[in-house]
A and B are shown apart, each in its own frame.
Chain A
Amino acid sequence: MEEQDVALRILHTADWHLGRCFPGFPEEDQPKLTRARIEAVDKLLGLAESYAVNAVLCAGDLFDEPSPAEAWWRELLKLFERRRWKDRPVFLLPGNHDPLLPNSVWAADHPFRRALPEWVHVVDRDVFEFPLSPEAVLYAVPCRSRAGADDPSTRIPVREPGDQRIRIGLVHGQTFDLEGHQMNFPIAADATARCGLNYLAMGDTHGFREYAPKHAPAVYPGAPEATKFGESDTGFAAIVLFPRHGRPPMVQKQAVGRWRWRDLRCASLQELEALRREDLKDCVIRLSLQMEVTISERERVDEILRELKGNEAVCGKAGVLLADTSGLVVSVRDTSDFDSELPEVLRSVVARLQEQADGADGAVARQAMVLLHRTLRGMERPGALAGAKGAGK
């Protein structure tokens, strides 16, 4: 499309969930995931610059709580302050996670609001109308509570006869095809047609979705970073180009997220080895190990997990790893992993633990054998372990 044919460009984003915590993850990984959200915002603001959009529409749930910790809104302020935009207004819409409440971050007397640059606008009125250009206008409706049964799009005025402007709606809620929409600001399927909109910018669902009709689409850009496992099509923002002469807008799906959340299962050591060879640095992995291994193989599994996970000194190969080893069974039928020249006393210990491996506390006995093997291996006494020579390959 030629430059002169474009009447308006916007960047449409939503569901940043800044300040979201991840207590289900190890403490050392939580900051990565919380920081990732602000990095994604930085990236999409950069995207807005590179596409020279005329406006940035942020369709709600920008914070995970209506009153987030100061660190989060300060970080966001810094991102805005770095930009110094003049002709590119940014519209921040309160969503159901961060509704427009008296004591929220959106309150007029909140330090965040007071510190926002003048080109950043908070949608703090039920009928918010902003002329984006002589030929385009934005209508936005904020969420004032965490739940609601009213369709926010019904507050958008319908197109007056003779109004030829590009009309864009900005709302937060769930379309009628989504489960549980009734109490979560339901948005009617015909909202765009009813209001006479050219584009309805929505927020709430974390995956990218585009609804018909093509000539006046309603779009969820999704969260720029996923918030949990199982979310699909996350990590995007929408760049929307509005051609002149009333032609339908063009929606481009632009990747901005860094992390890929992957739910994986390994049924053999070979699969785990193969996973280890993958590039996982930008992956949040929930790994379920469902396999039976020998003691030395278990050592190898631990090594790989350590390698994937990393520690304070060394970065892991995987960005974030949650390993579920409850399905990892250690077979102790064969004790050749221990050196035959192991001192008699330690060989007796191995034999005794092996006897207990099939008992009621078999899991504990098997783990004890693994620990003994690991301890011996850790001491690196030559000849202490047969498996030590082969392990790690």
Chain B
Amino acid sequence: MKLLSIKADHFRGIRTARVDFASGLNILHGPNELGKSSLALAIRAALLLQSTAKESEAFVNWQGTGDPAVELVFESEPQRIWRVKKTFGTATASLEFSRNEVDFQLEVRGRQVDERLGEILQWGIAPPGGKGRPKGMPMTFLTTALLGEQERTGAIFEQGLSADSDESGRKQLTAALHAMAEDPLFKTVLARVQERVDEAFNVSDTKTTRKRGKSSPWVKSEDEIRSRQLRMQESEKELRETEAIEMQIRELLERRVELAETLQRAREAEAALAEDLAKQRKRDEIASRAAECKEELGAITRELDALAAAERLHAENARRIDTLTQAKDRAEAKSKDAAAAVRTAEEELSRLQSEDRLRERQMEQATLEKQHADVRAEILRHQSTLERIRAVEAAAGKVSGIERDLRTVSESVTKMERERKELAAQMAFLQWQAAREGLEAAENGVAQIEAWRLQASGHREAAARLKAALPAFVLPSAAQLESLRRLESDRRVAAARLDVGLSVTLRAKRPLRIALGRDGEPGALRDVDSTIEAAAQRVLKMHLEGIAELEVSGGATDAREALAALDLRWAAEAEPMLQQAGVTDIEALAALCADAVRRRGEIDAALREASQLEQRIADQPDWSRLLAERQKQYDAAEKAIAGLDRPKVRVRDVDALSTEERRVEGALSGEKARLTERQTSLATATAELDRARSAVEGGWQEALSRVVGLQDAAQKRLEEIEDRLQHLTSAVDENLAEAQQTADAARAAAELADAMLQQAATSLHDAMLKQAAEAGALQARRDAAAKLDLAGARASLENVETELASAPAPRGPVTPESIAQAQRQSAGAEANLDDLDREILKNRGALQQLGGDVARQKAEDAASELETARERAREREIEYEAWELLRKTLREVEQEQGTHLGNVLAGPVAKRFSELTSGRYGRLALGPNLETGGIAAAGDNRALETLSVGTRDQLSTIFRVTLAEYLETAVLLDDQLTQSDGHRLVWLLDLLKQVSSKIQVIVFTCRLEDYAAPGKSGKGKTPDDARVVDLRRFILK
């Protein structure tokens, strides 16, 4: 925004004044009391104060010449020129619009003027009648910054944006400072980072994904790794096969060594056997000869031995005849002695067989036999009694066994009943748990349905709110917007075609008062009496007072017509839409459209969410009904487990529990049946016991021991009687037998002696006959023996045996079987070796195909390549992830910085202030709403109140100018630097010159020399490109 002119009439001390402003630096100077501050106030009043405000009473002209009136012309943006007129006495106001500063059209009147101005300026002023608009001259952060009063140079430090009555100021600042945050350096960095990120990522508002196209670095890396992995897998496979075959070959070679050794051993064994066989054969031949010699020697020896034996037999026979003669004599003597012994024995036997002895023995035997019969009867009686007692004992044992069995079964039944009860409790607990879970599910279901209903309702309400917030009018479509943009562009181009440059020369023939207006800027009347030259870009207006008005326009007719046609189109197509939308330009309209589209999307999304939730609710079962039913089930289950110690209940699976329950039931019924059967058996056994007891007197245990004692005593007596009886019989028999034996022996000895006598006589006779017969044969043999050569035969045998001893002996026995076996072993080992060689050759052939060391080298190469590719991919990944992190961080910080206005502005302000103060002061503390906190100085944060007035004024000036610079709007400095020294004034003037190349700076001062840079002569000179206005010429008091 920049001011073009101000006109004030009857305004405080000013009767009339009109000042035109130029772009850039305007230095309006004049002495005190001239009305500079009134003129500045007139500017503020025109822009800010309602014409109806009571505060305008202070504007009344001190001479009472008329109603105070102001007329301010300003350009809000190129070719958007506004003229605001306010007359405070009559409370009239109007706002007119123009594109050329010549033809103004009424925009609004009355109260709407200030509302419209608020929209145009966006300085945080609420519309008239709006909530929060202060009474009187509305002062906001931006009005203070841009139009600050002379008396309140430090006012900018007193409030931030939070005190504004409207958000427009903050919005404008946010937009401007956000753009500022996008420092050119930052923007360039971001653009470069984004370029690198775009190489690898698809970035959207919501997510960032890796690119998957052909040019994607990820795909390149993956492809590279994949291809190298494949190559490595192939190489490794080949290598594995190679190594397997190499291993196999090594094993085969080791086996070959073993087999070769085996073959060698087999062949050596075979050869050794052959050698042994030859030795054996040689030895056999010698042995055969030795046998023959032995045979011959044997025959001689046998013949000589037979002769010697015959000689010995002959001598023996002679000795035997002598012996037999002596034996015959002894046999005759023995026969006589035996006959005498027979006679003696027969006499003793006759004595022992007499009648008295026999009768005595028979009586003693009868007595003993009677005692024996009595004792046996007694034993039988005791036996019978004992059997009855044993029957009682057995019956009692049976009853006792059945009773024990009965107790066991009974305990088992009790245990199983307890178990059954416990299982029933577990089952009830499980049913209770199921009921409780069902109830909780139903409660959750009801709560979920309610939550979804609330969410759906919330979505629908949000949609309704968003819908209500949508513009009521029809926004242009994207195509329409594009068309409007083209129209706007065409207009700018058409207008530019009219910027041809004009030059007019006026040669006055007499003094004239002339006003020259250039390109919409009105000119002031001045006296001319000679030739003047005037130049303009598009339009040159020459007002010849009292004579004529001349307007010269540039450009060809068709260009002007084209611009007029485009203006008409603009008025017809664009203006209605802009007015309807309440915006001033196409970009704002586009922003509205985009906002509407976004909101419609949000509405659709909210409605869709609501529908989905409602459908989800409809798909749910009737949880309320289920809740009631499950509550009943739960109550019943709760009742069923009342009194149950729940923590102790063992929780199991229902199926397992049912199975267990069935098992216990079955076992229990079985045990009960056993119990009944045992009880019946017990009754029967008890009856039997009773019957047996009736047959025994008294207690059966006592009777049993008594009877056993009696029986043992009777048995002992019986044994004693039998011993005595036995002894009696055996003593008689022994005496008789002994006598009989003696007689018999004597008879036998006599018979033997007779027989021996007979035999001795016979033997003697035979021996004498044989001796006579063999005497002739002995003599013939003696003659034959005299002809045999025993020594020669022995010598031959010794020679052959010496030869046999010197012949090499085989290491062991050699048989045809052992030779055949050795040959078979050699052949087998040879065959095995051949098979192995074939196997080795086969494997070597395979290895030759696979590559051996070549395959190993290739596998190593492939592994190295893969590792290199992986390393490259890893580096690439970190690189691109780092770019993306950098982009994301840049964006995040940019976003945050844009909303913290203080962070953005503090730096530039502090930098300038530091330059001004030669580094004495550092960073200015500015809050998010630009509220001032203090300033860094000497490592400390110092309150601004501690600064000198002049320094505060300078800081205020820098702050305001910097702010205006970023807002690209005019700033009004009303005697701002009166407390500054010359050195700082020079610096500040440089600053003003610097910023005035971008924005309009209007300085009111009473000391023009303050704004004159020192020249060579030492005198100050105002900047050449500044518009210096001596207000004395334009203010009429």
Contact = CB atoms under 8 A, between A and B. Distances in A.
A and B found bound together: yes
Contacts of A146: 847-855
Nearest to A61: B854
Contact of B854 (A97, A370, A378): A97
The A interface is mostly helix, strand or loop, or mixed, namely mixed
Contact of A23 (B847, B865, B890): B865
Interface in B892-951: 892-894, 896-897, 903-904, 906-907, 911
Interface stretch (B257-265, B690-698, B881-889): B881-889
A346 B189 contact: yes
B844 A148 contact: yes
Contacts of B181: 345
B897 A344 contact: yes
A189 interface: no
B10 interface: no
B864 interface: yes
Interface stretch (B84-92, B422-430, B872-880): B872-880
Given A344-B903, A344-B904, A182 B246 contact: yes
A96 B852 contact: yes
B131 to A, nearest CB: 35
B509 to A, nearest CB: 61
A372 interface: yes
Contacts of B865: 23-24
B481 to A, nearest CB: 32
Nearest to B860: A228
Interface stretch (A41-49, A76-84, A209-217, A347-355): A347-355
Given A146-B852, A148-B844, A379-B188, A353 B889 contact: yes
B135 interface: no
B615 to A, nearest CB: 41
Contacts of B874: 326
B889 A368 contact: yes
Interface string A155-188: 0000000000000000000100000101110000
B835 interface: no
A345 B904 CA distance: 8
Nearest to B192: A375
A2 to B, nearest CB: 43
Interface in A314-373: 322, 324-326, 341, 343-346, 348-349, 352-353, 356, 361, 363-365, 367-368, 370-372
Interface string B27-71: 000000000000000000000000000000000000000000000
Nearest to B875: A325
B183 A345 contact: yes
Contact of A363 (B196, B851, B860, B878): B878
A342 to B, nearest CB: 8
Contact of B882 (A97, A346, A352, A368): A368
A79 B250 CA distance: 43
Residues of A in contact with B, size category: 35 or more
Contacts of B903: 344, 348
A370 B886 CA distance: 10
A145 interface: yes
Contact of B893 (A145, A345, A356, A365): A345
A349 B896 CA distance: 11
A180 B886 contact: no
B852 A183 contact: yes
A325 B906 CA distance: 41
B572 interface: no
A372 to B, nearest CB: 6
Best-surrounded residue of A150, A174, A343 (most CB of chain B within 10 A): A343
Interface string B818-855: 00000000000000000000001000100111111111
Interface string B403-421: 0000000000000000000
Interface in A282-298: none
Contacts of A367: 878-879, 881-882
Contact of A364 (B867, B882, B894): B882
A349 B850 contact: no
B186 A147 contact: no
Nearest to B846: A147
A142 B150 CA distance: 107
B185 A147 contact: no
B999 interface: no
Nearest to B905: A344
B945 to A, nearest CB: 26
A343 B854 contact: no
A224 B615 CA distance: 80
A381 interface: yes
A343 B904 CA distance: 9
A182 B844 contact: no
B242 interface: yes
A313 to B, nearest CB: 21
Contact of A349 (B853, B879, B886): B886
A127 interface: no
Contacts of A365: 882, 885
B249 interface: yes
A251 interface: no
B864 A371 contact: no
A375 B189 contact: yes
B896 to A, nearest CB: 8
Contact of B894 (A96, A182, A345): A345
Contacts of A237: none
Best-surrounded residue of B850, B875, B878, B882 (most CB of chain A within 10 A): B882
Best-surrounded residue of A182, A367, A384 (most CB of chain B within 10 A): A367
Contacts of A183: 246, 249, 847, 852-853
A376 interface: yes
B189 A376 contact: yes
Contacts of B868: 24-25, 322
A145 to B, nearest CB: 3
B257 to A, nearest CB: 13
A115 interface: no
A149 interface: yes
B228 interface: yes
Interface string A11-35: 0000000000001110000000000
Nearest to B182: A345
Interface in B526-582: none
B910 to A, nearest CB: 10
B861 interface: yes
Interface string B232-275: 00000000001000100110010000000000000000000000
A182 B861 CA distance: 22
Interface string A124-153: 000000000000000000001111111000
B185 A372 contact: no
A25 B864 CA distance: 10
Interface in B143-189: 181, 183, 185-186, 188-189
Interface string B467-500: 0000000000000000000000000000000000
Contacts of A145: 847-849
B337 interface: no
B926 to A, nearest CB: 11
A24 B903 CA distance: 50
B193 interface: yes
A27 to B, nearest CB: 11
A345 B228 contact: no
Contact of B897 (A184, A345, A370): A345
Given A180-B856, A367-B882, A379-B192, 10 more contacts: A23-B228, A146-B851, A343-B185, A345-B893, A346-B183, A348-B893, A364-B878, A364-B885, A367-B879, A379-B188
13 contacts: A24-B867, A24-B868, A145-B847, A145-B848, A147-B850, A148-B847, A149-B249, A180-B856, A183-B847, A353-B886, A365-B882, A371-B883, A372-B193
Interface of A: 23-25, 96-97, 99, 144-150, 174, 180, 182-184, 228, 322, 324-326, 341, 343-346, 348-349, 352-353, 356, 361, 363-365, 367-368, 370-372, 375-376, 378-379, 381, 384
Q: Which 5 A-B pairs give the minimum distances between C-beta atoms?
A: A147-B852, A145-B848, A367-B882, A146-B851, A368-B882
